[in-house]
């Protein structure tokens, strides 16, 4: 299952690495890719075995560096 999210607050490759590291730590996640838009809204794509709780994804993104999931 592949799900995309919009993330604000990411500005560099370090941000990408931090978010990727946190999300790959979630159970069932097999891949994470980020289309970085520095200081804009980046596209986060997560591949997992099944649906992920949005709250778990949000918590992982925030833990990575205070980034924020957004709906648009």
Q: What is the CA radius of gyration of the chain?
A: 11
Q: What is the pLDDT of residues 32-61, one digit of tens each?
A: 999 999 989 999 999 999 999 999 999 999
SS3 49: coil
Q: What pLDDT is stored for residue 28 in this prediction?
A: 96
Fold exhibited by the domain 2-70:
Alpha-Beta Plaits (3.30.70)
Query: Residue 72 pLDDT > 60, yes or no?
Result: no
- Which residues pair with residue 32 across a beta bridge? 46
Mean of pLDDT over the chain: 95
User: Where do the structural domains in the chain lie, given as residue ranges?
Assistant: 2-70
Percentage of the chain beyond pLDDT 90 is: 96
Q: What pLDDT is stored for residue 71 in this prediction?
A: 72
Beta carbons of 28 and 12 less than 8 angstroms apart: no
């Amino acid at each position: 299952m592949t799900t995309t999210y919009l993330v604000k607050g990411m500005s560099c490759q370090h941000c990408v690495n931090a978010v990727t590291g946190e999300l790959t730590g979630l159970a069932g996640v097999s891949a994470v890719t980020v289309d970085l838009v520095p200081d804009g809204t980046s596209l986060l794509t997560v591949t997992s075995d099944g649906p992920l709780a949005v709250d778990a994804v949000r918590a992982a993104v925030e833990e990575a560096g205070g980034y924020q999931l957004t709906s648009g």
